[in-house]
Amino acid sequence: MDIASTPADSEANMQVADAAPPPQAPPVIHREDYLPPAWLVPQIALEFALGVDETHVTSKLSVQRNPAGNGSDLMRLNGDQIAPLSVRVDGEAINDWRLDGPDLLIELHGQAHEIEIETLIKPIANSQLMGLYASHGMLCTQCEAEGFRRITFFPDRPDVLSVYSVRMAGDKAAFPILLSNGNCTAQGEGENGTHWAEWHDPWPKPSYLFALVAGNLVANSAAYTTRSGRKVALNIWVRPGDESRTQHALDSLIASMKWDEQTFGREYDLDLFNVVAVSDFNMGAMENKGLNIFNTRYVLADPDTATDADYDAIEGVIGHEYFHNWSGNRITCRDWFQLSLKEGFTVLRDQLFSADMGSEPVKRIEDVRVLRSAQFPEDSGPLAHPIRPDSYQEISNFYTATVYNKGAEVIRMMRTMAGPERFRKGTDLYFERHDGEAATCEDFIKAIEEGAGLDLEQFRLWYSQAGTPQVQVRMAHEGDAVTLTVSQAVPSTPGQAMKQPMPIPLRIALFDRDTASHDGERLIILDKASDTFRFEGYAKAPVLSVNRGFSAPIALDVERPVEDLVFLAASDDDPFARYEAMQSLVVRHLIAAVSDAMSASAKAAERNAVKRAFAAVLDDVALDDLMRGELLMLPPVSYLAEQLLVADPSALYEAREDLKAWLGRELSASLRALHDRVSAIPYSRDAGARGARKCKAQALIYIAAADPAEGARRADTQYWAADNMTDRQSALSVLCGLDVPERKQALDDFHKRYEGNALVIDKWFALQAGSTHPLVLDHIRDLALHPDFTMSNPNRVRALYMSAAVNPKAFHDAGGEGYRTIGELIRRLDPINPQTAARFVPALGRWRRIEVERAHLMKAELEKIASLPDLSRDVREQVTKSLG
């Protein structure tokens, strides 16, 4: 029987094609088509004969018919660029297996069987960095989402949970350290200088959480005792020479473990927790059970080589991966459409953790800035999708700001509506009810509903509808009553023309203009297309502060006089709202600056309002420097462009640069005084000194914009005097944008000083590619030819090209050179590393929202990519959707 064409193949449902796909289009996978697996794999024993050139894998699966399955005799084992050397069932070699595309199909007639499969893989040739690959002589794995199938044939779907036993053997000199999930149960010496180790992970897990590492590594170790008394050995593994830069990661890990016990009641569940840093990695880090694998950039730090932002990112990512042990590993996802179940929730958890470790308001502002500059454009473009997508071609393309960051915002709204205590009851119920399961977003919502006592019936729309709700607020004052008329519109997005109104929780306050105080914050929930809210007891018209703390991930349109924004920027007691008022002032000024809608005198009046707000921030002695630095930041061009249906990014960029220079001139004395004051504060990692460095960076930016000579002088002094990377980088960043002799000297010094430190050389690339220098495109072209540039390291590729793609000056150059640069990159990178290549497509995919001449050039690049015959599934999906 030709089982490859058996119609009753239930497990193939996750791979079925649309009714009439164009000849080469990859199949579209639909959420609604989910069916449980026909076969389960309660246990797996893996054996690895390790080698960088060739690794031999033997996989023994104990399989069982799934009582919840459809009873099919056919077992589908996914593969990807591998071939079986042998297949045995119950000890007998069999020949009646079939390949269905990349997958292996085996027919099984009993209730339970043993399957043994041998494969041979070539780690050194694995440039995609998915599956088992080599990095600097070390072997490591990346299996999420579908990388395990590049190691051996397996039902590579997150609802198949197995207990893993791993044995690996290899050359002891090449691989002195052998790691996998769980605990090391045995190890010993073999022949010819080899050694071996056996690992056992008692917690059943899906294949995407499997990990193996073999290489020459050293650890920074500590012991942690959980609140119930379990002693856990902690190790941060790095290449020899890097161990001096691991303490912050280790401290962050201990802090994470403690915090999750205190805040969510979650305790660690193994005797060992390993973190390994790898310099070739597609993403940030990976939460493999008991063996997290990290991009080096989220592990290594010391004051000389890492900025304050790097330190914060390490703390956040260490926390994020650790928190996955419960939100992701103990409770995993039923299928990849549920990705936000683990990612949205875990991002919220890491955000709350970082807020508790540092400044809560500053953390909130940073998170909102990321959301608006990365997620809002996604939600308004051709790749918009709900936090729980309905279909995909390549799941790697759905590790997005929407699934992660908007996903976190959606859960944060539940927390806002319930309050932290009731929310905790909801998460307790979720963890208790679904422990050990592969769950769905619906399971999570139900648990929060019951545990926290919320009605989330209508709220579920946040999971199914894409697009950023546009909320309009109008205030009227009559007698002693204030009436807010609030309405919402959720814009149509690809595949979702019509939307329904969603519940939108808005934290508001009504300020008395004279006393600059309010009578308490209120939470209103808009759950209709339009509604009115009435408040009495206001003899005078108050000043409205709304969406405080960014209580809902929406775009807000409030009609109010500039004076109210100046008032809130100076006096709002919610730090986020204060920041928001500043941003609104700047946004409305810059949008007016690029349009003809406003008279010159009105424009000048708005600009003066911006100046007054900035002056107040510079002079406010009650403000801490961390917040001051935050308030001084201008919104990025990407967020400004979001305000317009069709934007001319260069005009926005120029207007923003003009404002920077004008503010720098008008506030010159205060800015110089600020730069002088904070420059005298010595380096330390405490909040005051970090705030000082943030202000130093911001002040320098304005000073240089206003007076390049003075800016160059100060930046040069700061660069050479710096005793830490934060100051050195902020000085070099300013020098990079200036056409002055100090620029080259500092850049050459930086390169020489940090030669051999890949993460710092990444900064050297990123600063130049992200600069405002008039010749930035020439610099980018030269950097691509620099001997330190390589297409095989994702960090280096991103340092150069992602910096270029988010640099409006370079990317949106009127001649189209920026678009051609990114287009060519995608075409060249796709055959090497499709997952990373696909991440550059959304930049070009914005073309519909860009003025017509540039749009034409952007689209031409997409078409050129689309015309290639052998595109990856990753890039194909993104390009097709971007053109469609």
Among Zn ion, ligand PHE, none, residue 150 binds (CB under 5-8 Å by kind): none
Q: Which stretch binds ligand PHE (CB under 6 A): 110-118, 140-148, 153-161, 872-880?
A: 140-148
Per the CB < 8 A criterion, the answer to whether 872 and 878 are in contact is no
| 220 binds ligand PHE per the rule CB under 6 A | no
Residues involved in catalysis: 321
Site for ligand PHE contains 286 (CB under 6 A): yes
Smallest distance, ligand PHE to C-beta of residue 142, A: 6
Q: Which two tokens stand for residue 172?
A: 């002891």
- Cβ nearer to ligand PHE, comparing 399 with 567: 399
Show the binding pattern over residues 327-356: x = contacts Zn ion (CB under 5 A), - = does not.
----------------x--x----------
Nearest residue (beta carbon) to ligand PHE = 283
The one segment of 59-67, 280-288, 511-519, 856-864 that binds ligand PHE by CB under 6 A: 280-288
Instruction: Give whichever of 726 and 872 is closer to ligand PHE, judged by the CB atom.
Output: 872
d(C-alpha 497, C-alpha 624), whole Å: 46
Burial 806-844 (b: 16+ CB within 10 A, else e): bbbbbbbbeebbbbbbbbebbbebbbebbbbbbbbbbbb
Q: How far is the CB of 568 from ligand PHE (least distance, A)?
A: 36
Nearer to ligand PHE, 46 or 140 (CB): 140
**Nearest-angstrom CA–CA distance, 21 and 43:** 38
Instruction: Please return the burial class of 20, using the count of CB atoms within 10 Å of its CB with bins 0-12, 13-18 and 19+.
Output: exposed
Out of 310, 321, 606, 877, the residue judged to bind ligand PHE by CB under 6 A: 321
CB of 191 vs ligand PHE, minimal distance in Å: 36
Site string for ligand PHE, 398-427 (x = CB under 6 A): -x----------------------------
Q: Does 116 bind ligand PHE (CB under 6 A)?
A: no
Backbone angles phi, psi at 139, to 5 degrees: -105, 135
Q: Spell 853-876 as b/e; 16+ CB within 10 A means b.
A: ebeebbbbbbeebeeeeebbbbbb
Residue with Cβ nearer ligand PHE (147 or 629): 147
> Cα(327)–Cα(346) distance, rounded to whole angstroms?
6
Residue 134 Cβ vs ligand PHE, minimum distance, rounded to whole Å: 17
Query: In the block, which residue shows the tokens 């910096």?
Result: 803
By a kind-dependent CB cut-off of 5 to 8 A, residue 551 interacts, out of ligand PHE, Zn ion, none, with none
**Facing residues of 100 across strands?**
103
- Residue 734 binds to ligand PHE (criterion: CB under 6 A): no
Of 89, 108, 87, residue with least CA distance to 99: 87
CB of 321 to ligand PHE, least distance (A): 5
Which of 346/718 has CB closer to Zn ion? 346
Interface residue with ligand PHE among 10, 66, 141, 142 (CB under 6 A) is 142
Distance CA 836, CA 334 (A): 26
Interaxial angle between packed helices 687-706 and 708-721, expressed in degrees from 0 to 180 and rounded to the nearest 10: 150
* Phi, psi of 831, rounded to the nearest 5 degrees: -65, -20
In angstroms, give the least distance from the CB of 346 to Zn ion: 5
Q: x-or-dash pattern for ligand PHE, window 603-642, by CB under 6 A? A: ----------------------------------------
Nearest to 59 by CA among 140, 124, 148, 172: 148
Q: Which of residues 19-58 bind ligand PHE (CB under 6 A)?
A: none
State the binding partner of 618 from ligand PHE, Zn ion, none, CB within 5 to 8 A by kind: none
Measured at the CA of 251, the angle between CA 245 and CA 255, to 5 degrees, comes to: 155
* Other CB atoms within 10 Å distance of the CB of residue 355: 16
Q: Could you tell me the smallest distance in angstroms from the CB atom of residue 320 to Zn ion?
A: 5
Instruction: Quickly tell me which residue has 């100051």 as its tokens.
Output: 727
* C-alpha torsion angle, residues 13, 16, 19, 22 (rounded to 10): 170
Does the protein bind ligand PHE through residue 456 (CB under 6 A)? no
Q: Interface residues for ligand PHE in 336-355 (CB under 6 A)?
A: 343
Calpha distance 801→790 (Å, rounded):
12
User: x-or-dash pattern for ligand PHE, window 260-279, by CB under 6 A?
Assistant: --------------------
Residue 765 touches ligand PHE, criterion: CB under 6 A: no
What is the closest distance, in whole angstroms, from the C-beta atom of residue 315 to ligand PHE in the complex? 14
CB 579 within 8 A of CB 365: yes
Give contact residues for Zn ion (rule: CB under 5 A).
343, 346
Give contact residues for ligand PHE (rule: CB under 6 A).
142, 144-145, 282-283, 285-287, 320-321, 343, 399
